[in-house]
Structure 1
Amino acid sequence: MVSAADPRAVAAGVEILKAGGSATDAAIATMLALGVVEPQSSGMGGGSFWVRHSAKGGLDTIDARETAPMAAGPRLFYTADGQPMDHRVAVPGGKSVGVPGALRGMALAYRSGGKLPWARLFAPAIRIARDGWQLTPRFVDGLARNGTHITPEMRAIFSPGGVALPAGATVRNPAQAALLERLASRGADSFYVGPDAQALVATVRNAAQNPSQMTTGDMASYAAKPRDPVCVPYRSYRICGMGPPSSGGLTVLMILKQLERFDMGALGKDSATAWHLFAESSRLAYADRNLYIGDPDFVRVPVAGLLDPAYLAGRSALIAPDRTMASVAAGTPPDAPPRVRAAPAEVPGTTSLSVADAQGNVVAVTTTVEGVFGSGLTVNGIVLNNQLTDFDTVPEKDGYLVANRVEGGKRPRSSMAPTIVYDAQGRVRLSIGAAGGPTIIAQIAKAIMGVIDFGLPAQDAIAMGLLYAPGMQAVAESGTERAGMVPALQALGERVAVGPLGLKANAVEWVGGRWVGAADPRSEGVAEDEAGTVTKIRRFGSDPSRPPE
Structure 2
Amino acid sequence: MRRPILSVILGTLTLLPTLLFAVNEDLAPESATGTLQQKSIEAQHQLVVTAHPLATQAGYRVLQQGGSAADAAVAIQAMLTLVEPQSSGIGGGAFMLYWDNTSKQLKAFDGRETAPASADENLFITNEGKPMRWWDAMVGGRSVGTPGVLAMLEKSHKQYGKSSWSSLFEDAIETSESGFQVSPRLHQLLSSKINPGLGKYPQARNYFFTPEGEPLPEGHQLTNPELAKSLRHIAKSGAAAFYQGELSKKIIDAVKQATDNPGKLQQSDLKNYQAIERQAICRPFREYRVCGFPPPTSGGITTLQIIKLMELAEPKQLQPTSIEFYQLFTQASRLAYADRARYLADSDFVDVPMDQLLNENYLRQRSKLINLSKDMGKASPGELPDRLSRADDRSPELPSTSHFVIVDRWGNAVSMTSSIEMAFGSTLMAGGFLLNNQLTDFSFIAEQEGKPVANRVQPGKRPRSSMSPIMVFDRNNQLVAALGSPGGSRIISYVAKNLYLKLSSDMSLQQAFNTPHVVNRNGVTELEAGTTAEQLAQPLSAIGHDLKIRDLNSGLHGFFRQADGAWKSAVDPRREGTALGD
Q: TM-score, normalised by structure 1?
A: 0.94
Does the CA-based 8 Å contact 1:93-1:209 persist in structure 2? yes
Q: Which moved more, 1:333-342 or 1:245-254?
A: 333-342
Q: Distance in 1 between matches of 2:386 and 2:111?
A: 27
Aligned to 1:258: 309
Does the CA-based 8 Å contact 1:348-1:502 persist in structure 2? no
Per-residue CA deviation, residues 96-136 of structure 1 (Å, 9 max, x unaligned), is: 00000010010111011111000111111111111100011
Aligned to 2:88: 42
Aligned AA (2:573): P
Aligned AA (1:503): S
Does the CA-based 8 Å contact 2:393-2:454 persist in structure 1? no
Unaligned runs of 5+ in 2: 1-46
Q: Distance in 1 between matches of 2:465 and 2:202?
A: 29
What SS does the corresponding residue of 1:459 show, helix, strand or coil? helix
Per-residue CA deviation, residues 241-275 of structure 1 (Å, 9 max, x unaligned), is: 10000000000000011011244873111310111
Unaligned runs of 5+ in 1: 532-549
Aligned to 2:362: 311
Aligned to 1:416: 467
Aligned to 2:205: 155
Q: Distance in 2 between matches of 1:106 and 1:390?
A: 22
Does the CA-based 8 Å contact 2:203-2:428 persist in structure 1? no
The alpha-carbon distance between structure 1 residues 478 and 264, as it changes in their structure 2 partners (threshold 3 A), is: farther
The alpha-carbon distance between structure 1 residues 435 and 413, as it changes in their structure 2 partners (threshold 3 A), is: same
1:517 counterpart = 2:563: no
Q: Which moved more, 1:93-102 or 1:317-326?
A: 317-326
Aligned to 2:260: 209
1:10 counterpart = 2:56: yes
Q: TM-score, normalised by structure 2?
A: 0.89
Q: Distance in 1 between matches of 2:89 and 2:233?
A: 16
Q: Which has the higher contact order (CA 8 A, sep 6+)?
A: 2
Q: Distance in 1 between matches of 2:478 and 2:386?
A: 33
Aligned to 1:547: none
What SS does the corresponding residue of 1:260 show, helix, strand or coil? helix
1:289 counterpart = 2:335: no
How much does 1:335 deviate? 4.7
Aligned to 2:524: 473
Q: Distance in 2 between matches of 1:329 and 1:168?
A: 49
The alpha-carbon distance between structure 1 residues 11 and 382, as it changes in their structure 2 partners (threshold 3 A), is: same
Query: Considering only aligned residues, what root-mean-square deviation do their CA atoms show, in Å?
Result: 1.3
Aligned pairs for 1:258-277 within 5 A: 258-263=309-314, 266-277=317-328
What SS does the corresponding residue of 2:378 show, helix, strand or coil? coil
Aligned to 1:89: 136
Q: 2:293 aligns with which of 237, 242, 247?
A: 242
Q: Distance in 1 between matches of 2:556 and 2:378?
A: 30
The alpha-carbon distance between structure 1 residues 468 and 360, as it changes in their structure 2 partners (threshold 3 A), is: same
How much does 1:39 deviate? 0.5
Aligned to 1:537: none
Aligned to 1:545: none
Aligned to 2:116: 69
Q: Distance in 1 between matches of 2:56 and 2:316?
A: 33
Aligned pairs for 1:320-339 within 5 A: 320-339=371-390
Aligned to 1:302: 353
Q: Distance in 1 between matches of 2:79 and 2:315?
A: 39
Q: 1:54 aligns with which of 100, 115, 120?
A: 100
Aligned AA (1:426): N
Q: Distance in 2 between matches of 1:270 and 1:395?
A: 40
Does the CA-based 8 Å contact 1:51-1:61 persist in structure 2? yes
How much does 1:459 deviate? 1.2
The alpha-carbon distance between structure 1 residues 74 and 163, as it changes in their structure 2 partners (threshold 3 A), is: same
The alpha-carbon distance between structure 1 residues 324 and 140, as it changes in their structure 2 partners (threshold 3 A), is: same
Q: Distance in 1 between matches of 2:148 and 2:465?
A: 14
Aligned AA (1:240): C
Q: Which moved more, 1:266-275 or 1:14-23?
A: 266-275
Aligned to 1:379: 430
Per-residue CA deviation, residues 256-314 of structure 1 (Å, 9 max, x unaligned), is: 11011244873111310111000000010000001100111111000111001111111
Does the CA-based 8 Å contact 1:126-1:180 persist in structure 2? yes
The alpha-carbon distance between structure 1 residues 334 and 427, as it changes in their structure 2 partners (threshold 3 A), is: farther
Aligned to 2:145: 98
Per-residue CA deviation, residues 132-157 of structure 1 (Å, 9 max, x unaligned), is: 00011111111122244133223323
Aligned to 1:348: 399
Q: 1:440 aligns with which of 491, 516, 522?
A: 491
Aligned pairs for 1:124-135 within 5 A: 124-135=171-182
How much does 1:175 deviate? 0.4
Does the CA-based 8 Å contact 2:125-2:132 persist in structure 1? yes
Aligned AA (2:533): R
Q: Which moved more, 1:351-360 or 1:494-503?
A: 494-503
What SS does the corresponding residue of 1:431 show, helix, strand or coil? strand
Q: Distance in 1 between matches of 2:519 and 2:401?
A: 18
Q: Distance in 1 between matches of 2:478 and 2:534?
A: 36
What SS does the corresponding residue of 1:339 show, helix, strand or coil? coil
Aligned to 1:30: 76
Runs of 4+ in 1 over 6 A off after TM superposition: none
Aligned pairs for 1:105-254 within 5 A: 105-145=152-192, 146-150=194-198, 151-161=201-211, 162-254=213-305
1:279 counterpart = 2:330: yes
Aligned AA (1:420): M
The alpha-carbon distance between structure 1 residues 293 and 163, as it changes in their structure 2 partners (threshold 3 A), is: same
Aligned to 2:40: none
